[in-house]
């Protein structure tokens, strides 16, 4: 078995793995990056990028359909899904090429194509090759959970839904989390009748309850049906029709069922446990420096319990590369990671929810909600929503920001700086926000919390 030695061997070329490889190479480490499928992983090929392209097509469809309200006459003739896929695949293809170019240009990275297995604390085996690393980084990502539901022509996860050939007349989305509401949004814009079935008592249960309420209201207006507190009992398929039976006896029929009930860590059958790595509910157990406790083996991205986001993967990868190089970086803190859900309307948040803030800071926690009704640009776009600020105490810093409304995802950058730098509302209020932008809503919310509201009632 040919053996090659490296400073770092990385198993998995998705967001976490390739970010680690690129940063480590910059820091002069010799890296092997092992990938069995395509460099870029879920985010680039089956997640963030292709789904956001679909959401953009959906937005264009809505603009065409609703243009009369802006005084522009158009008729939406239909959705050419083949052309949507060509556009989407073009975006993915260009980014893929760019990423391959980056990795190729990094002299210290050896890209190894093939399925790797952890064969010990320093060793990854790929076919006949043995890659030995001073450090090993596990970055094998996640897969769509199916709850044992059989995937077929009319029952899909987001993987299959990305290449849908026809817009279904009726679609049921099982799971009202991030993937569920994004796909519900796309399919509705493309013309499907959509029902979301969510086991918890609200859509996007990981967000602030007020955000869920606003999303549910907006979806109702878009004629998307939300069945919350609804538990699935069974699924059956016949002649292209899917029947979803709910606990309590009711059943729903559709032409497509999208299963979006969460993503599981890809940690089985890869030699992890055999090498001594401890798994908990499938996730790799790590300390705050992402060390597994087995030799110099670390883990990054979706296989580490916490928010499963590509930018967390990037941050983990960069952190590990820098830590290995002795730069002593600050560990990645999950609650400071911004989250965006790209449905229409969009959801963006960072920091603590009001409930979490109360748990941490007690009853002195204060909050303020600025309604987008008072924001000029939001009115021009015709969107409803709000910016909600949470501060730790009457005179404390802002510890959470929650936003909902068309395009509000773009506002998460400033929100993140405010929460990350523990800014006081008075400090943010002293900065002038450009008029008329949606960003102004963030400024106005801070003005109000600083006791000097402008376009809001005191």
Give the catalytic positions in this structure. 435
Please tell me whether 302 is known to bind a ligand. Answer: yes
User: x/- binding map, residues 229-258, to ligand NAI, per CB under 6 A?
Assistant: --xx--------------------------
DSSP three-state, residue 211: helix
| Binding residue for ligand NAI, selected from 108, 189, 308, 353, defined by CB under 6 A | 308
Q: Does 207 bind ligand NAI (CB under 6 A)?
A: no
Residue with tokens 């010990």: 120
Q: Quick check: 351 and 370 in contact, CB under 8 A?
A: no
Please tell me whether 195 is known to bind a ligand. Answer: no
Q: Does 309 bind ligand NAI (CB under 6 A)?
A: yes
Please tell me whether 175 is known to bind a ligand. Answer: yes
DSSP three-state, residue 226: strand
Q: Quick check: 344 and 58 in contact, CB under 8 A?
A: yes
126: Cα within 13 Å, side-chain hemisphere: 19
Which has the closest alpha carbon to 349: 405, 301, 414, 415? Answer: 415
Q: Quick check: 224 and 188 in contact, CB under 8 A?
A: yes
Q: Does 282 bind ligand NAI (CB under 6 A)?
A: no
Provide the terminal-to-terminal Cα distance of the chain, rounded to the nearest Å. 74
Q: Does 200 bind ligand NAI (CB under 6 A)?
A: yes
271 or 313, CB closer to ligand NAI? 313
Cα separation, 376 vs 282, in Å, equals: 48
- Overall size of the chain counted in residues: 458
Number of shown-chain residues binding ligand NAI (CB under 6 A) = 26
Q: Does 177 bind ligand NAI (CB under 6 A)?
A: yes
Please tell me whether 373 is known to bind a ligand. Answer: no
Q: What is the smallest separation between the CB atom of 364 and ligand NAI, expressed in angstroms?
A: 31
Cα separation, 204 vs 193, in Å, equals: 20
Q: Enter the tokens of residue 72.
A: 């522009």
Q: Does 176 bind ligand NAI (CB under 6 A)?
A: yes
Q: Does 209 bind ligand NAI (CB under 6 A)?
A: no
Residues annotated within a binding site for FAD: 52, 116, 140-142, 302
What residues form the annotated binding site for NAD(+)?
175-182, 198, 262
Instruction: Write out the binding residues.
Output: 52, 116, 140-142, 175-182, 198, 262, 302
Site residues, ligand NAI (CB under 6 A): 147, 174-180, 182, 197-200, 205, 231-232, 260-263, 307-309, 340-342
């Amino acid at each position: 078995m040919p053996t090659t030695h490296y400073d770092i061997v990385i198993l998995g070329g998705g967001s976490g793995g390739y970010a680690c490889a690129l940063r480590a190479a910059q820091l002069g480490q010799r890296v092997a990056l092992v990938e069995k499928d395509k460099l870029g992983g879920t985010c680039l090929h089956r997640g963030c990028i292709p789904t956001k392209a679909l959401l953009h097509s959906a937005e264009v469809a809505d603009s065409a359909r609703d243009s009369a309200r802006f005084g522009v006459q158009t008729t939406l003739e239909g959705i050419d899904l083949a052309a949507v896929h060509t556009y989407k695949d073009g975006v993915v293809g260009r980014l893929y090429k760019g990423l391959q170019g980056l990795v190729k240009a990094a002299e210290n990275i050896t890209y190894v194509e093939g399925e790797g297995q952890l064969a010990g604390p320093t060793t990854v085996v790929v076919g006949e090759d043995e890659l030995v690393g001073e450090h090993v980084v596990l970055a094998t990502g996640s897969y769509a959970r199916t709850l044992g539901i059989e995937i077929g022509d009319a029952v899909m996860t987001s993987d299959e839904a990305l290449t849908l050939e026809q817009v279904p007349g009726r679609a049921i989305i099982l799971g009202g989390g991030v993937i569920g509401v994004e796909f519900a949004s796309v399919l509705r814009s493309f013309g499907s009748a959509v029902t979301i079935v969510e086991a918890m008592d609200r859509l996007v249960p990981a967000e602030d309850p007020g955000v869920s309420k606003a999303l549910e209201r907006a979806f109702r207006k878009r004629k998307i049906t939300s069945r919350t507190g609804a538990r699935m009992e069974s699924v059956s398929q016949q002649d292209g029709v899917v029947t979803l039976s709910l606990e309590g006896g009711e059943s729903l029929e559709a032409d497509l069922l999208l299963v979006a009930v969460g993503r599981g860590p890809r940690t089985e059958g890869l030699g992890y446990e055999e090498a001594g790595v401890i798994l908990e509910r499938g996730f790799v157990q790590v300390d705050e420096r992402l060390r597994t406790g087995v030799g110099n083996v670390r883990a990054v991205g979706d296989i580490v319990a916490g928010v499963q986001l590509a930018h967390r993967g990037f941050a983990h990868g960069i952190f590990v590369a820098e830590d290995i190089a002795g730069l002593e970086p600050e560990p990645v803190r999950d609650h400071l990671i911004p989250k965006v859900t790209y449905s229409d309307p969009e959801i963006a948040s960072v920091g603590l929810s009001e409930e979490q803030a109360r748990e941490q800071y007690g009853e002195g926690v204060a909050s303020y909600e600025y309604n987008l009704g008072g924001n000029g640009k939001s009115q021009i776009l015709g969107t409803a929503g709000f910016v909600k600020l949470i501060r730790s105490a009457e005179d404390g810093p802002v510890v959470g920001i929650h936003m909902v409304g068309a395009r509000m995802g773009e506002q998460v950058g400033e929100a993140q700086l405010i929460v990350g730098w523990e800014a006081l509302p008075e400090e943010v209020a002293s900065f002038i926000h450009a008029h008329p932008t949606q960003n102004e809503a963030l400024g106005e919310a801070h003005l109000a919390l600083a006791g000097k509201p402008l376009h809001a009632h005191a």
